[in-house]
Chains A and B, each alone.
Chain A
Amino acid sequence: MTEPAATAPLRDPAELHAEFEAVWGNPKGWRALSVVNHTSVAKRFMATGVVFFLIAGLLGMLLRAQLAQPGQGFMGAAAYNQVFTMHGTMMMFLFAVPIQQGLAAYLLPKMLGARDLAFPRLGAFSYWCYLFGGIIFTSSLLLGLAPDAGWFMYTPLSSNTYSPGMGADFWLLGITFIEISTMAAAIDIVVSILRARAAGMGLHQMPIFAWSMLITSLMVIVGFPPLILGSILLELERAAGWAFFDPTRGGDPLLWQHLFWLFAHPEVYIIFLPAAGVVSMLVPVFARRPLVGYRWVVVSMIGTGFISFGLWVHHMFAVGIPALSQAFFAMASMLVAIPTGIQLFAWIATLWAGRPVWSVPMLWVCGFLVIFVAGGLTGVMLAFVPFNWQVHDTHFVVAHFHYVLIGGMLFPLIGGIYYWLPHISGRMPSERLAKTGFWLTFIGFNGTFLIMHWTGLLGMPRRVYTYDAGLGWDLPNLVSSVFSFVMAFGIATLLLDLALHWRYGRKAPLNPWHADTLEWASGTPPLSYNFASLPRIATRHPLWDAPDLPQTIAAGQHALPQAAHGRRETLGVDAVSGRVREVIHLPGNSWWPLVAGATLALLCLALLLKMYLPAVAVALAAVAVLLRWSWENGAHPSAAAGEGHDLPQGLKLHSRTFDGPGLWGMGLTMLADAALYASLLFGWLYLWTVVPGGQVPAESPLGTWALAAVTALFGAGLWTLRRAVRRLRAGSDAGLQTHLWWATGLGVAGCGGLLWVLAHAALQPTLRAHDAVLNFTLLFLLLHGALASVLAALQALRVHRGHVRLSAPYEPGVVALLWQFCTVASALAWALMALLPMAFGAPP
């Protein structure tokens, strides 16, 4: 239904290429800052990730230099504490996740047979937030103001009392800014994987890397919000004195730990799963046969993703939580080894049944095997509670997590970089330099970290800037430090290889590894538009089953083989089956991502410098920029040239239908929002019931019915919006504007209700954690209600301007999702914060 008939005239590939370059080509010079094309943005992500990796790596070297001998004066305690905090934080937030998102952004559209990701401008915005946030955060080092409370920032150490100064604020504000980047990229990736694939490519035929990025990105969407919430609460405590984590005011330091680890345990699987996906891509190619146990691997990754959310307390085994409760987490922590084991043996089975060849990428995969399995085994040991009580917070744990992170993420990543390097640059690296680099890194790594297990068993705690001589720790530390330099030489060799290959590497053939997946058909280096025509895919191994695919694609023999209409477009498919549903039109280059990123950076700085009044102004400006950006969407002329009448029979542009990427993007954003809100409600229930000495008044200051009224108002607005959409589906846009203005009014009334509650509740957030949580919830609801009202009003304006109409009915349904969230959130606040406490009367 989507392909031109087999008798379509053959196009001259050169002519076709020129036509596409005119629409998709990247401008040079300073205009390159407005580029939104996924290949360019992804390369920026990866390059920036490498830079942050090197900086964080150098910090690690400083740590090892200090610990080489007991009682060294190389770094004092203050400097050391900043350095280890920054080393960990930068590696986790500025390297491990962004670089893999960059690799995904680069590869996925090509692997899935699409021309771009679903939200090109969002991807570009995500990069700018990452760059600006990373610069702001890293600059704290240069100013000597770096955070120094450890990468997990436990309270009360990270609160105002014990960490005065800007360090902790750099962490809380800077990292939250970067998390916006990570979340945006994750939403982009999920929607792209589910809705922007090749025609006919079902979920069961996607490359495993696509599955791993789908699962990982969904984990990001649900797993990052608890930390975002925790960071906002802690920053409020530091800046405004609101009590959340202060035990003297009804708060609890453990609340921070729960919120942090709820995020941070899934985070390590967020870091591992993409790398496992890379291994699943490389092993079949070098075994020269398809992956054995495709379904096992997919199920295992999904299982790992979910179960990883049930492990978080294993970082808190020494806190004093009762044995039975700890046991639940211990069991789950051991259980999660099973899906990982399944993937491992699927790879072994594939190699066993194939005809493996050695290559530089496979060298790194083998290194991954040795190191990661060792790390996984020490992980199972750590899950055993009594042993954990001894080695928790010692160098044993430091050794363990470096084994799983470097072995499980860095080694596959480097293997993947070597594998796809000919794709990115069009040239092959040097075999000799590459192998030298591998062995130096492998030997250096093991020399550094293997003996570190022993150091921890000898009793050396973590995060100590020095140690006494004569405890038996001297030699192991010296060995670790010496070998860390070997590893550094290894990394330097790799960098040298990368740098030199750009100039001296021999030109790569079209598919140097004889791989099976589609990205090798997008050109090496890739074309700006990936594919001149979009093939129908019915197999997991497109290039093995149809080796002439690159030629037929370039000759325009498949779907959407023209760009003369001036539009950037790709196919929109059904999420599960891959049946074509619509044509997704994509935005071209735009300055809005850069402007929005810069405005948010300004906001971050204003908050850092405690210039709160200017910060309010900048925040409003940021909202204005984002809304103005969103205006150029859908049926707005700058979003898509033409009405799509030139499309094949039966296909429409997505904004002329009721479904499209934006609907899914909004849905996923609401999922993230729900995760944040759920964490807030968890915090409420936790402080109320479990905290020793928790103070809860007998009568709710929120009143019995106020929140019910707010819920009703938001609910009425939702109903009005839904009614408008129903009428659009039935074929009528009469009264559309009226409906939207009514919804706006109802939303404003709901916000008014919330303001009334805030005014009358007489909450004292700086005196009581209970009041702080209520106050925060009301502000949260107010913010969402205001946004919902503004979006409804904007929709009304767009109807007035003709951007939303019967033939372009897409957007009201998207906005309705936000209204749904507001209604449910208000209802939950009413039930849990107003009614429930009154049902229980006075606290126990």
Chain B
Amino acid sequence: MTPRTHAPGPGPERAAGLAGHAWHLALGLTLWFVWFCATYGGVAVACAVAPPSPALGPVNWLNATVLLLAATCTSAFGCAAWVSLRAARRVPADAAGAGPRFIARSASALYATAALSTALVALPAMLLTPCT
């Protein structure tokens, strides 16, 4: 009888919009994992196929690519965290809104975690020579 729907229902969920959907709890860090594998795997493949000259140290096209990708993802995650937080603030602060607010705020924290994790994990690319 209850309609099977993925769109948010009426009331507090609508206030949060698409950003309040529970999938966001998993999306941020899942994408972080994809980024992580792409970075680690990409560096491994690049080192096997076309390693930059070690004399360049950490200033080379590979590290630059890693850092650029990391910066992009960090910003994206940061934006997602911000959007989720705003969505949480839009939900009315009553008992019915407790659930959607919880989801949106938790999603925000998880996107922030993804942003921080991306930035910190990529940090060594500023200092270390690849492929050696």
Contacts and interface: CB of A to CB of B under 8 A. Distances in A.
Contacts of B36: 310, 328, 332
Interface string A644-682: 000000111000011100000000000000000000000
Contact of B128 (A327, A576, A581, A650): A327
B2 A325 contact: no
Interface string A305-329: 0110110010000000011110111
B68 interface: no
A463 interface: no
B124 A299 contact: no
A597 B48 CA distance: 46
B32 A306 contact: yes
Contact of B44 (A202, A327, A538, A690): A690
A299 B105 CA distance: 10
A82 to B, nearest CB: 36
Contacts of A298: 106
Contacts of A302: 25-26, 29, 106, 110
A689 B123 contact: no
Interface residues of B, number: 46
Contact of A689 (B25, B45, B116): B45
Given A295-B102, A302-B25, A324 B125 contact: yes
B115 to A, nearest CB: 12
B2 to A, nearest CB: 5
Contacts of A339: 113
A323 B109 contact: no
A303 B29 contact: yes
Contacts of A576: 22, 99, 103
A416 B50 CA distance: 55
A644 to B, nearest CB: 12
B130 interface: yes
B53 interface: no
Given A332-B36, A650-B1, A659-B4, A577 B121 contact: no
Interface string A257-286: 000000000000000000000000000000
Interface string B20-62: 0010011001101100100111011101110000000000000
Contact of A575 (B22, B102, B123, B131): B22
Given A302-B25, A331-B123, A580-B2, A204 B98 contact: yes
A374 interface: no
Contact of B129 (A295, A313, A323, A574): A323
A203 B121 contact: no
A735 interface: no
Given A202-B99, A295-B102, A581-B2, A306 B40 contact: no
A579 interface: yes
B110 A299 contact: yes
B33 A309 contact: yes
A708 interface: no
Contacts of B109: 295, 299
A335 interface: yes
Interface string B97-121: 0110011011001100100110011
A299 B47 CA distance: 36
Contact of A690 (B26, B33, B48, B130): B48
B7 interface: no
Contacts of A295: 102, 105-106, 109
A202 B124 contact: no
Interface in B1-17: 1-2, 4, 9, 13
A574 B43 CA distance: 43
Nearest to B132: A322
A341 to B, nearest CB: 13
Given A302-B25, A650-B1, A203 B43 contact: no
A306 B29 contact: yes
B110 A202 contact: no
A299 B113 contact: yes
Interface string A483-522: 0000000000000000000000000000000000000000
Contacts of A202: 98-99, 102
Contact of A331 (B29, B121, B130): B121
B22 A203 contact: yes
14 contacts: A202-B99, A203-B102, A302-B106, A306-B32, A307-B117, A309-B33, A310-B117, A322-B47, A324-B124, A328-B40, A335-B117, A659-B4, A685-B41, A689-B44
Given A299-B109, A302-B29, 8 more contacts: A298-B106, A299-B113, A303-B113, A324-B63, A324-B129, A325-B40, A580-B2, A690-B48
Closest 9 CB pairs of A and B: A327-B124, A306-B29, A204-B102, A202-B99, A650-B1, A324-B128, A299-B109, A576-B22, A324-B130
